[in-house]
Structure 1
Amino acid sequence: MAYVDGFLLVVPTDKIDEYKKIAKKAGKIWLEYGALEYRECVGEHLDMPFGRPFPKLLKLKPDETAVFSWIVYKSRAHRDQVNAKVMQDKRLAGMDPKTMPFDMKKMSMGGFDVLVSL
């Protein structure tokens, strides 16, 4: 069964285009090194009438939105191999966490075993 790295970020709405540019670059690199799928999704309909809506959960300000992302791998071992190569790639070397178009302190991430895949 596949393995997924999942990410949830808070991005200022006026920085979505800047974020998209970085995400496209990063996605190409992850796929080049063997990731099976790379997705970056920007919040569009977040105020759902049930559960805990993303704006409340993430304490979004009016000028912020949620970005939900995931990368799919064959397994956790495959993820570890791909990420080791990605982290050594010089094309990402210039990406300084201090200049990212989002607050890294508000980013959540984790690795997930796929439970159901249809």
Structure 2
Amino acid sequence: MERILVLAAGAALSLGACTRAPSAPPELAPGARVQFIAPGSPTWTGGIVGRVEECTALMVPDSWDSASGFRVVRIDSLRELRVSTRFDGLAGEDGRRRTVKLPLDSAGEAWTTLPVKAVRARYGGCAP
């Protein structure tokens, strides 16, 4: 019986060690490629994370072939958001930032869904 109690206590300790730490707030790095759903965009729409004055916003290019013009989308308007695993805007192992370039090469791209409520809390409340 003592051995069972010792094993149960050890299992409880190891389970406690596996609990998740609070996750870091989501990051929208400049140059990251994203897809989002917002009012007026009922399907997934592609964009690039950018800055307009002091605001982080999504920039929807008029064309993915060249940077001829962009439509600005406020973070507060987002309903759903996902970021490219290939072009997340963060620094890679080589130290270079993984940013999208035009014309777009999306080969091998996958998506990570971000919690929109947390993204709005961190980047919203700013009118570009």
TM-score normalised over the length of structure 1? 0.20
Q: Which entry has the higher C-alpha Rg, 1 or 2? A: 2
TM-score normalised over the length of structure 2? 0.19
Choose between structure 1 and 2: higher helix proportion: 1
